[in-house]
Structure formats: structure tokens, C-alpha cells
Amino acid sequence: MRVFNFSAGPAMLPLPVLEQAQAELADWKNSGMSVIEVSHRGKDFVACAAETQALLREVLGVPDNYKVLFLQGGASAQFDAVPLNLAAPGDLVNFIKTGQWSAKAIAASKRQALRVDVIADETASGCTTIPAPGSYEVDPGAAYLHYTPNETIGGVEFDHIPAAGDVPLVADASSTILSRPLDVSAYGVVYAGAQKNMGPAGLCVVLVRDDLIGKARPGTPAILEYAGMAAADSMLNTPPTFSVYLLGLVLSWIQQTGGLAAMAERNRAKAAALYGAIDASGFYSNPVAPNARSWMNVPFLVPDPSLEKTFVQEAWAAGLTNLGGHRSVGGMRASIYNAMPIEGVQALISFMTDFERRKG
Amino acid sequence: MRVFNFSAGPAMLPLPVLEQAQAELADWKNSGMSVIEVSHRGKDFVACAAETQALLREVLGVPDNYKVLFLQGGASAQFDAVPLNLAAPGDLVNFIKTGQWSAKAIAASKRQALRVDVIADETASGCTTIPAPGSYEVDPGAAYLHYTPNETIGGVEFDHIPAAGDVPLVADASSTILSRPLDVSAYGVVYAGAQKNMGPAGLCVVLVRDDLIGKARPGTPAILEYAGMAAADSMLNTPPTFSVYLLGLVLSWIQQTGGLAAMAERNRAKAAALYGAIDASGFYSNPVAPNARSWMNVPFLVPDPSLEKTFVQEAWAAGLTNLGGHRSVGGMRASIYNAMPIEGVQALISFMTDFERRKG
């Protein structure tokens, strides 16, 4: 029996994707080999990687002047790779800080000897808000402006793209990519770990505008250096072949279910239902400002924190798994990525209603 | 129909491993979730990673004063990570050069601003030899001595461990790890990409002696820094969960089939049969010095290079896949890792005999 899995990542995948991967796991394309076993330089896998990239470009609308890189190390690797590729030691960079993931990106830019100016900092609200457009100023001399479109832990999502002028805008889109249309042309770099909306952990997708490639500082590790990876079609070294293959299946599923516009509509409806239930209850609460509420990660609290463990355990027993909040903040969190059907959200709401009735 | 897959990596995996992964791909441990979908911080996956590490320690005999790290980026990431973790800019390091992979490691150490002294260089023989013990001297002031126990492209393997005195010995064991017993205690660092003898591409196993941890230079990217990764049990960021899981299955298979001693005996026999057939033929040839012949990668040539393409194509049609040599050297290459049964080698020898009869 499949459960409704609310894990923040690695996360639920579409069942048709898992079933196809399962059916062909020991024999891919009638080759007598698993996709895990074939050479990354062989024609079948080269075609698979090219097809996956073409699908990503099509589904996401990636402009021609952007490279698509399939890298390793997750978004955490890009925390260091972005400064190494885009800025020299001592350069100024701008950040918008909305939670723990932007804080990690800030720390890495400092580690790479950049001068960091946090031009908007939502710490005062407990990172339950996003800065209003026009409430901060981007330094025209900054090497880039970095922000986190969706904070997975706090459940805070931007409802707009920050204006950065001529400064390259860099986004850690790990937990929002493919959940709705994205205007890639507004960005210098978009990076995203795969393990939320794209596939297995171990793959990181990087979209980078051509003019930003080729400026890496000396000593940048080869696996993090955009120019070398772009020139080698992300095969400077052996890529995570199974993850690239699975991303291809996920993209096909998105395309077959209506693309990103349809996905956005489903995600909007799922989020609206869940926030609606929370707000209507008087028992559950979500601390995030309405305009900053994430479509993907919905944290919520109960009045008595000692009930949290019971909630998570009883929900798990009812087939609603991984509802514990991040270990740093506690509470509950429902991650409702693309693969979570509306039926899962409805089942969660029913459980919440019943739990409130029994414990409220 | 399963084929005999001679790919150099990603490579053939044991069929029982693939079948178990396939059976539980959509429902792991009756959780209602795929192993790809579960949280890396959840108790099931934490147990899986711990079990995989314990199995690796047991099968390989990893001493207690070594950390086992599960990282990303493959061996290529370690080409940069080793210098970043073990040496300061300007430090002296020693290398033994036996082929293209040692050359890549050398290039990365230079990129990381180290003074590289290649104390033994087999270029003169076309990298068909290994240096004799005692024919080179390790500088006692070197930060490390690096070598490549098995060169995947050239098919050159060390039959001994180079003596390094008190200098930490570092090995890229990507294509030899788990093929025979290994005295880990002789090394400072052993690293290996998983995609030959361990599992899917996208995982790199690093064994590092405790006293070498904590010396990384400032600016080392977090995902490559040993101390942080060791302290976080390789979960500083999301690990490549599916690959770690599959490594666990591969290690169980090794254990169930007799461990590394039995594996070594099978690999020795497979290599002996194939080299024996090559040497006896007068048609096929292998250029490598007998004491340096790899048990894992067996390159061979035919007198007329125009026959190579025909050989590879006809072999493929006969269920013997991926026998083309590395694109940089041509010829043929049979990679006969752990998962290749003796029956596969026998089938290859039969094909070779028949091909020689028809074309010789």
C-alpha cells in the first residue's frame, strides 16, 4: 500500500515514474542491462541525457542563452560553487535572507572570501515574511544578488521575482523548481537539488546564463566549475546516471499531466485547501505572512507542543508519513510537492480535523 | 535476456542486487515508500546508511581509526578534495604516474597550488608498467604520496602497495576496491567512485585516517571537507540515498558469496583465463607487463585496427557488450569487475576464438 509521504526531501515521486523505473530496472530499452549499468558515454545514455535536457528546456522554457548543467553535490555544493564561479575574493555580493537556507548560502559566500551585504533580512519577523519590492536596494557593483525563492524549513515563498537591475540574480530553487512556471530569463543562475520535485538525491540542476560562464577563480574544483562542465556536456566526470534518467521520467510525467501551468494550478489548489483548513480551525496555526506562504512546504503548530509527537505518530499510522517539522524548529510540516495528489492533502485535512476533535 | 556487460563503468551489477532493488523499488521495507522517497534523516534510511557503513568496514576490514565517508562527485571530486584537505598552497606532494587517471590527479594537485614531484613516471613505457619497489624515493617532507592502484584505461594494476614511510599514502582505488582484500592501514586516504565495483554512479567512498582530518585549507567547499562531513556522518547535506542503499546490497552480496578472499580468487581466475587466451592466440595482444596486468580491465588489440569496430559490433550482437577501448586509446577493453561471472569471460574467450578463426 502506497502512503501519502509528506517528506521535505527526499520526497514523494509520481507512482507512474516509480513503476516505469521498476519495470525496466534490470533491462533498460531491451539492452539486457540496467540503466544503472550502462556506460555514460554509450549512445543510449548519451541520448537519455540529451532527451532529459531537452525536456527540461521545453517544460521550464529555458532560453537558448542558458546552459543546463547536471551536477553532483546538491544545492549545498552550489553554495560554494556560485561564489567560486561568479566572484573574485573581496568582491561584494548582495543577499536577501529569509531563513536557514539563505543563511547557509551567505555563510558559504563568506567562506569564499566575499564581502557580503545582506540587503534585506527577515530575521526580525522570525523569517515569516518576505521583503516588499522596493524596500531594499541592490548595489549596482555587486557580483550577484542571491535569494531563496522557497525556504523549505520555514515554509516561506516569494510571490514575485526580486528586481536586481543589471546585477545577476541567483536563486536556490531546490524546493520550488518545476512547481509552477519560472521566468528563467530573469536570472543569472538558478540551481536546485533534485530530491524534491525532480528525482533522487544526488543530482543538482544548474541553469546558468552564458555570459556568466568562464569567470571561475583559479583553484575551483573541476566538478564545480561551470565552463568545464558546460564544455563537456556535464560529463567531465561520470554523471549520476540513474538520477538523470529518473529526472527524464519525472519531466515526461509533468508534460503528460499538462506542464507547469497545470502543475501550478494543482499546487495552488492543494496549498489553498491546507492553509484554509489551518486558518479555519483555531487549533492549528501557521506563522507565515499570507503573501509569503509556501505552496510546497506548510509548517503548522498545535497549541500544546506535547501533542506534536502524538500527531506525527498517529498520522504515520494512518498512512500520512513524515509530518514532523524540521529538527531545528519542531512543530509539524507538510511538504506537498508536485507528486502529492490533492487526495493526499484531503486525507491530511481529514486527519487534522479528527485529531482536533479528539485532542482539541 | 541479460547480457555480459564489459563496460568500464558504470558497470555490470550482480543480478540478485538488481532484482532486490527492483522488487522493493516502489515499496521499501513495507513502508509504502520507495527508498528514493524516504527522508535521509528518517530512522529507516539512517539505519540503512549505518548498516552499509558497518558492512563496508567488515568486508574491507577498515580499522577503527579511519572514517568512512559517503560523498558525491566521484573520484574526480577527490582529485581536488585531497589536496584541499591535506596540503597548504606551496606544499610538496609526491606522485607515481602510471596512466591517465594519475595524470588527472596530478593536474588537480597543481591546480590547488601544490609543488608536485612525480617520483616515478611510467610514461617511457607507454604506461604499460609499474615502478619496481625501491626504484624511487619518497620525500619525507611530502604532504602525501598519491598513486592509482589500477589504471582503468591502460589496464595497469599494482601487485603491491608502494612503501611511503611516514608520508601518508593516498590511493584512487575506484576500479580495484572490493575486488580483493585491501590493507587499509597502509593508507592515509583511499577514495573510490562507486560505479565499478560498488553501485550506481554518483557516490564516492572515502576512507580517511583520523589524524588527517581537520587540516583543510580555508575556502574548501563544505561538501568536500572531510572534518565537517565526518562530524555529520556524511549527512552535512542530503546524501545520494539510492546509491548508498544499493552499495549496501552489493556488500551483502559480496559477503554472501564468500567475502573479499573468495572474490579475489574468482577475479584472479577470470583474469588468468582471459590473459591466457590472449597470450596463446598470436592474434590478440595485450601490451602490459605481466606483473602489472589488471585483474579488472583487460585491454587488447588485434593486428589490423580496422577490425576493431567489427569485433565490438559482432560481440555486442552476441550478447557481449561495451568491449570498445577507451576513446582516447582505441582497441578493445574487457572490464571484468566483481559482478562479471566466469561464464561471461568464457563466453568472451569463445567469441574471440571464433572471431580469430574467421578474420585471422
Q: What is the pLDDT of residue B300?
A: 98
| Span B281-306, average pLDDT | 97
Chain B residues with beta carbon closer than 8 angstroms to that of A40: 10, 201
- Which of the residues A28, A101, A270, A295 is marked catalytic? A101
d(CA A350, CA A289): 24
Structure confidence by residue, pLDDT tens digits, A137-194: 999 999 999 999 999 999 999 999 999 999 999 999 999 999 999 999 999 999 999 9
Range of the domain at A275: 259-359
d(CA A240, CA A247): 11
Do B104 and B192 belong together in one domain?
Answer: yes
With a CB cutoff of 8 Å and minimum separation 6, the contacts of B197 are B11, B175, B176, B177, B178, B179, B250, B296, B337, B338, B339
Give residue A213's region: left, alpha or beta (phi > 0; psi -120 to 50).
Answer: beta
Domain boundary among A256, A275, A301: A256
Verify that B344 and B276 share a domain, yes or no.
Answer: yes
**How far is residue B323 from each of residues A34, A124, B310, B328, B341, measured CA to CA in Å?**
17, 62, 11, 14, 16
Boundary residue ending a domain (A256, A288, A304): A256
B12 pLDDT higher than 90: yes
B75 interfaces chain A, CB cutoff of 8 Å: yes
CB contact under 8 A, B26 and A108: no
Tell me the β-bridge partners of B190. Answer: B171, B207
Task: List, as ranges, residues 282-311 from A with C-beta within 8 Å of B.
Answer: none
B172 in active site:
yes
Show residues of chain B in contact with A111, CB under 8 Å. Answer: 218-219, 222
**Catalytic annotation on A253?**
no
Among B6, B25, B28, B34, which would you mutate to test the A interface (most chain A Cβ atoms within 10 Å of its Cβ)?
B34
Cut 0.90: pTM above it: yes
Alpha-helical runs (H) found in A41-149 = 43-60, 74-86, 100-111
- The total of structural domains in chain B comes to 2
C-alpha cell at A260: 507547469
Of A198, A227, A256, which closes a domain?
A: A256
Is position A110 within any domain?
yes
Look at residues B238, B214, B237 and name the one whose alpha carbon lies nearest to residue B225. B214
- Residue B350 C-alpha cell reads as 569463445
* Residue B1 clears pLDDT 90, i.e. is over it: no
CA-nearest of B191, B213, B216 to B204 is B191
| In a shared domain, residues B196 and B262 | no
Q: Nine-digit cell at A336? A: 506537498
Sign of CA dihedral A308, A300, A192, A322: positive
Domain assignment of residue A11, yes or no: no
Element (H, E) at A353: helix A342-359
The answer to whether residues A143 and A120 belong to one domain is yes
| Any B CB within 8 A of A42 CB | yes
Q: Which three cell numbers mark B150? A: 589500477
- Please report the pLDDT score of residue A360 as a whole number: 83
- Using one digit for the tens of pLDDT, what is the confidence trace for B125-183? 999 999 999 999 999 999 999 999 999 999 999 999 999 999 999 999 999 999 999 99
Identify residue B278 by its one-letter amino acid code: I
How many Å apart are CA B214 and CA B349, to the nearest integer? 50
CA pair distance B358, B360, nearest whole angstrom:
6
ipTM value of the model?
Answer: 0.97
Using the CB atoms, write b or e for B179-193: b if 16+ within 10 Å: bbebebeebbbbbbb
Q: Is the pLDDT of residue B360 over 90?
A: no
Let me know if residue A44 belongs to a domain.
Answer: yes
Q: Reduced to 3 states, what is the DSSP secondary structure of residue A92?
A: strand
* pLDDT the model gives residue B237: 96
In a domain, B3, yes or no: no
Instruction: Kindly state whether B77 is in contact with chain A, defined as any CB-CB distance less than 8 angstroms.
Output: yes
Tell me, yes or no, whether A250 and A303 share the same domain. Answer: no
Query: Using the 8-state DSSP alphabet, how is residue A253 labeled?
Result: H
Question: Does B329 reside within a domain?
Answer: yes
Question: Helical H runs in A181-285?
Answer: 226-231, 241-256, 259-281
Cα of B304 to nearest chain A Cα, Å: 24
CATH code of the domain containing A345: 3.90.1150.10
Express each pLDDT in B59-86 by its tens digit. Answer: 999 999 999 999 999 999 999 999 999 9
Three-class secondary structure assignment of chain B: CCCEECCCCCCCCCHHHHHHHHHCCCCHHHCCCCCCCCCCCCHHHHHHHHHHHHHHHHHHCCCCCEEEEEECCHHHHHHHHHHHHHCCCCCEEEEEECCHHHHHHHHHHHHCCCEEEEEEEHHHHCCCCCCCCCCCCCCCCCCCEEECCEECCCCEECCCCCCCCCCCEEEECCCCCCCCCCCHHHCCEEEEECCCCCCCCCCEEEEEEHHHCCCCCCCCCHHHCHHHHHHCCCCCCCCCHHHHHHHHHHHHHHHHCCHHHHHHHHHHHHHHHHHHHHHHHCCCECCCCHHHECCCEEEEECCCHHHHHHHHHHHHHCCEECCECCCCCCCEEEECCCCCCHHHHHHHHHHHHHHHHHHC
CATH of the domain at B97: 3.40.640.10
Q: Which entry of B80, B91, B101, B270 is annotated as an active-site residue?
A: B101
pLDDT of residue A30: 95
Q: Which of A172, A211, A309, A354 is catalytic?
A: A172
Q: What is the mean pLDDT of residues B297-306?
A: 97
Name chain A contacts of B234, Cβ cutoff 8 Å. Answer: none
Chain B nearest-CA distance from A18, in A, is: 6
Distance CA A70, CA A161 (A): 24
Residues B248, B266, single domain; the answer is: no
The per-residue pLDDT for A76 is 97
* CB of B288 closer than 8 Å to CB of B155: yes
- Indicate if A85 and A185 belong to the same structural domain: yes
How confident is residue B96, by pLDDT bands cut at 50, 70 and 90?
Answer: very high
Measured between beta carbons, which residues in chain B are less than 8 angstroms from residue A327? 41
Residues 6+ apart with CB under 8 A from B251: B52, B55, B56, B59, B178
Could you tell me if B307 and B158 lie in one domain?
no
Task: Quote the pLDDT of residue A219.
Answer: 96
Kindly give the confidence (pLDDT) of every residue in chain A, 360 residues in length, as a single tens digit, with 9 standing for 90 and above: 899 999 999 999 999 999 999 999 999 999 999 999 999 999 999 999 999 999 999 999 999 999 999 999 999 999 999 999 999 999 999 999 999 999 999 999 999 999 999 999 999 999 999 999 999 999 999 999 999 999 999 999 999 999 999 999 999 999 999 999 999 999 999 999 999 999 999 999 999 999 999 999 999 999 999 999 999 999 999 999 999 999 999 999 999 999 999 999 999 999 999 999 999 999 999 999 999 999 999 999 999 999 999 999 999 999 999 999 998 899 999 999 999 999 999 999 999 999 999 998
